Amino acid sequence: MQVAVDEARDRAAQQRRIVPQWWSGAKRATDIVLGSVFLLLTLPFIAIAALAVVLVDRGSPFYAQDRIGQNGRRFRMYKLRTMVHGAHAMRDDILHLNEVEGPVFKIRNDPRLHAIGAFLRRSSIDELPNLVNVVRGDMSLVGPRPPLPSEVERYSASAQRRLTVPQGITCLWQINGRSDVSFEEWMRLDNRYIDMWSPWFDLQILAKTIPAVIRKEGAH
């Protein structure tokens, strides 16, 4: 019942407001400025984590993966590698372990993680290279997480709506439980973000993201 009330309230708020054209420009300017600052501040953590990955699992510490951005545009998203080499080829063997309903694949204790992979994920350090994507314009600081092409192929019409806005590092899903949230609730949160978006809403989400990361809420 509460979900229905929240959705009705959000739709009513969206119908009442007119979104100023300059908001999109302000969002991109914020991404460039804050994204660059955050990238510079986190470079030491990225470097230390990258070295640790090389020490525990030889090879490149970084991982580039095709993702789907705004309006279906494909781009390469950068992360610190948390899995052993050849992990993608093992996916079919562990599909039965998937813990999330819908067109996504998530496992609480993924057997493909290398020695420090679980730590990098729980601390969200593995996502720090996403800031490169933000500065480049592939992503935004705030927005729905960019999905895999294989996931988008299975999206419903309502889920496709999340691709109408810039994809981001953090959004309502990240500050409301992340992997502990069902796929249906995840899509509802993304649609709510689209309906309620404003530059100020982005800043509120950013402010709530750091405490959520520290508490490791829903981080697997």
115 in a domain, yes or no?
Answer: yes
8 near 193, Cβ under 8 Å?
no
Pairing relationship of beta strands 62-68 and 74-80 according to DSSP bridges: antiparallel
What is the model's pLDDT at position 1?
Answer: 47
Query: Structural domain of residue 171, as residue ranges?
Result: 2-215
Name every residue whose Cβ is closer than 8 Å to that of residue 208 and which is 6 or more positions away in sequence: 175
Query: SS3 of 24, please?
Result: helix
Helix (H) or strand (E) holding 74: strand 74-80
Lookup: tokens for 213: 């990361």
Lookup: tokens for 201: 């809403």
β-strand partners of 76: 66
What is the model's pLDDT at position 17?
Answer: 62
- Rounded average pLDDT over 160-164: 94
Nearest to 125, CA basis, from 203, 201, 61? 61
220 in a domain, yes or no?
Answer: no
Distance CA 90, CA 97 (A): 12
Residue 144 DSSP one-character state = P
Q: What is the pLDDT of residues 181-197, one digit of tens each?
A: 888 899 999 999 999 99
**If pLDDT is split at 50, 70 and 90, which confidence band does 5 have?**
very low
CA distances from 76 to 9, 64, 147, 149 (A): 36, 6, 11, 11
Nearest to 121, CA basis, from 79, 92, 170? 79
Residue 21, number of CB atoms within 10 A of its CB = 7
27 in a domain, yes or no?
Answer: yes
The rounded mean pLDDT for the chain is 88
What is the model's pLDDT at position 11?
Answer: 52
Lookup: tokens for 25: 């420009």
Higher pLDDT, 16 or 212: 212
Residue 12 has pLDDT above 70, yes or no: no
β-strand partners of 65: 77
Residue 14 has pLDDT above 70, yes or no: no
43 in a domain, yes or no?
Answer: yes
Work out the angle at residue 215's Cα, subtended by the Cα atoms of residues 190 and 139, and round it to the nearest 5 degrees. Answer: 40
Q: What is the pLDDT of residues 74-130, one digit of tens each?
A: 999 999 999 998 888 888 788 888 877 788 888 878 889 999 999 999 999 999 999
Nearest to 4, CA basis, from 160, 214, 207, 185? 185
**If pLDDT is split at 50, 70 and 90, which confidence band does 152 have?**
very high
Counting the structural domains of the chain, the total is: 1
What is the model's pLDDT at position 178?
Answer: 75
119 in a domain, yes or no?
Answer: yes
**If pLDDT is split at 50, 70 and 90, which confidence band does 201 have?**
very high
Name which of 65-79, 131-145, 185-199, 204-218 the model is least confident about.
Answer: 204-218
Residue 217 has pLDDT above 90, yes or no: no
